[in-house]
Amino acid sequence: EPEVTQTPSHQVTQMGQEVILRCVPISNHLYFYWYRQILGQKVEFLVSFYNNEISEKSEIFDDQFSVERPDGSNFTLKIRSTKLEDSAMYFCASSEALAGGYEQYFGPGTRLTVT
C-alpha cells in the first residue's frame, strides 16, 4: 500500500538555525499539506500546496516558513530561523484530488526539537 514518507524522523536544532523537513507524498497524489502537532495539543494545519504553489495557509505559516517541491517526488518545509515554540511533530499529508471527500493521508512525522 502506498505511503507518505518523511525524513528525518527526529531533528534537533538550536534556536535561530534553519531546518528543512522532507516528505515524499504518495506518487499519484496532487495535493500536499503540512500540519504540526505540539505535544499534548491538537493537529493544526500549516499549508496546502497544489500545482507548484501555495493554495492555502494558516496564521501559523508566517514569513519564516516556506514550502517547495524541488523535484517530481519531494515536498519540503523550511523553517528559516527556528524558535523554541517551533518544537513539535510535523506531519506531511497528501491527497489524490479535491474530490472524494478530501481524504488526506499522513506521513509518520518529523519530531523537531529546538533547543
Residue ranges in contact with another protein by CB under 8 A: 31, 33, 35, 41-45, 48, 50, 55-56, 58, 89, 91, 98, 101-109, 111
Backbone dihedral angles phi then psi of residue 54, each to the nearest 5 degrees = -70, 130
Phi-psi region of 51 (alpha: psi -120 to 50; beta: other; left: phi over 0): left
Tell me the closest approach of the beta carbon of residue 68 to another protein, in angstroms. Answer: 18
Closest to another protein by CB, 22 vs 111, is: 111
Measured from the CB of residue 35, what is the shortest distance to another protein in angstroms? 8
In this structure, what is the dihedral angle of CA atoms 44, 47, 48, 50, given to the nearest 10 degrees?
-170
CB of 91 to another protein, least distance (A): 6
Q: What angle do CA 76, 78, 25 make, to 5 degrees?
A: 15
Q: Is the peptide bond before 8 cis (omega within 30 degrees of 0)?
A: yes
User: Shortest approach of another protein to residue 108 CB, angstroms?
Assistant: 5
Nearer to another protein, 37 or 74 (CB): 37
C-alpha cell at 97: 484530488
Q: Do β-strands 5-7 and 19-24 pair in parallel, antiparallel, or remain unpaired?
A: antiparallel
Q: Which is nearer to another protein, 42 or 85 (CB)?
A: 42
Give whichever of 15 and 43 is closer to another protein, judged by the CB atom: 43
